[in-house]
Amino acid sequence: MNLSELNYFLTDNKQPNFRLKQIINAVYKENYINFNDIQVLPIDLRDKLSENFDIIPFTIDKILKSKDTLSYKALLITADNKYIETVLIAAKNNTWSACVSSQIGCKLGCKFCATGNSGFTRDLSAEEILGQVLFWKNYLSSNKLGKLTNIVYMGMGEPFLNWNNVSISLKKLIDPGLFDFSSRSISVSTSGITDGIIKLANEFDQVNLAISLHSANDETRSKLMPINHKHNLNDLKQALDYYTSKTNRKVFLEYIMLHKLTDTTEDADNLINFINSFEKKHLLHVNLISYNTTASKYKASTKDEIEKFQTYLQKNKINTTTRKSLGNEINGACGQLSGNKPKDKTD
Ligand code: SF4
């Protein structure tokens, strides 16, 4: 919803000054996504607004729910008839995280990723990114499931390759008059676009940063993530040194556990050496991720292999956790969003 256009429209239609505030309150605080449901507005105005504006710029195709009800995935159709996916994941005590997409598809073609394997269509606008957040806020409140407290830019696309729209969306998410999220409840995940890391440090120094690292060996990382040819581990280290010295904030290194490709003792040693090369190494935190089955040639590490790898890192004083993979059965986990129309079950 474009607020300046809405404001012009209200002025043209001789509406009192408080109307905009009423609409903002109804949308951002009370979670309405249809003008016709906003009872505080006169009926004729609701009709006119519905004809001229969309609060969320999508139609809803499907909402999938995992059996344990701890994750949901929505398939949304944009105005130009493209599919995008967005995911909701349970945090704790009836709070939830929304994982938003920033692009339709992705140019970077990481080998383990369903999005990367389905090509690139276009960037999402700031409205389309924020529309996913409005959608989940409405879903949680209509179904009395709890509150949306965290936003992660970890869905389809590389956020730093759509920085213009992502930065506009970040400003609105932290705007106290609109979404009013705290910066620290928002995370941006990147494949390692170094100039993006610098921009985040300079413009949003309290927003969390996660790096899809996946290997601390240039050869292996380039095989898994072609972007490593352009921004290699040394470039990444320099950008992260800048980020940590500027923000003094923790950085999450996401690391997919792939059998005999990223999970050997040699891989662990590479990771330890990479982290130990940082001046502020205490700010680097490794998240080991069990691989979700996508249509790729890679095999997931076993539970024992992951445990062994984690123990080895911890013995070497590396901050490490394993990330619980939620949403696997609805293809809503990391690396599984593709924007393809699902054939499976609906809510
Ligand atoms: S992992 Fe991220 S950067 Fe890589 S292809 Fe998938 S969406 Fe793009």
**Across the strands, what pairs with 65?**
72
Catalytic residue among 99, 110, 113, 334: 334
Q: Among 161, 152, 93, which residue's Cα sits nearest to residue 337?
A: 152
Give the domains, in start order, of the chain with CATH numbers: 1-55 (1.10.150.530), 67-330 (3.20.20.70)
Which atom of ligand 1 approaches the CA of 113 most closely?
Answer: 6
Residue pLDDT, tens place only, 141-163 = 999 999 999 999 999 999 999 99
Residue 233: per-residue pLDDT:
98
Pocket test for ligand 1, best of 85, 99, 106 (most atoms within 8 A of CB): 106
Ligand 1: distance of its center to the CA of 164 in Å?
A: 18
- pLDDT 10s digits, 72-119: 999 999 999 999 999 999 988 899 999 999 999 999 999 888 887 888
Identify which has the larger pLDDT, 331 or 218: 218
Distance separating alpha carbons of residues 30 and 41, to the nearest angstrom: 14
- What order of strands is seen across the sheet that includes strand 95-99? 58-65, 71-78, 83-90, 95-99, 147-153, 186-190, 208-212, 251-257, 284-290, 320-323
Q: CB-hemisphere CA count at 13 Å for 118?
A: 21
Q: Name the residue with higher pLDDT: 93 or 270.
A: 270
Best mutation site among 85, 101, 107, 108 for ligand 1 pocket (most ligand atoms within 8 Å of CB): 108
Average pLDDT in the chain: 92
Q: Is the pTM of this model over 0.95?
A: no
Give the per-residue pLDDT at 46.
97
Can you tell me which atom of ligand 1 is nearest the CA of 158? Answer: 3
Q: Which residue CA neighbors atom 4 of ligand 1 most closely?
A: 110
Q: Which residue has the higher pLDDT, 262 or 115?
A: 262
Which of ligand 1's atoms lies nearest the C-alpha of 114?
Answer: 6
pLDDT at 332: 53
What is the whole-number distance in angstroms between the Cα of residue 108 and the centre of ligand 1? 6
Specify the higher pLDDT residue, 114 or 232.
Answer: 232
Is 106 part of the annotated catalytic residue set? Answer: no
Pairwise CA distance, residues 301 & 308, whole Å: 11
- In tens, the pLDDT along 210-219 reads 999 999 999 9
343: pLDDT confidence band, cut at 50, 70 and 90? very low
Is 85 tagged catalytic?
Answer: yes
- The active-site residue out of 5, 85, 279, 305 is 85
% the chain with pLDDT above 70: 92
Residue found under tokens 């505080």 = 40
The C-alpha atoms of residue 62 and residue 85 are separated, in whole angstroms, by 10
Q: How confident is the model at residue 325 (pLDDT cuts 50, 70, 90)?
A: low
Best of 101, 104, 113 to mutate for ligand 1, by most ligand atoms within 8 A of CB? 113
Could you tell me which residue, 297 or 136, shows the higher pLDDT?
136
In this prediction, residues 254-267 reach a mean pLDDT of 95
- Ligand 1: list residues with CB < 6 Å: 106, 108-110, 113, 115-116, 156-158, 191, 212, 335
Residues 151/46, Cβ–Cβ less than 8 Å:
no
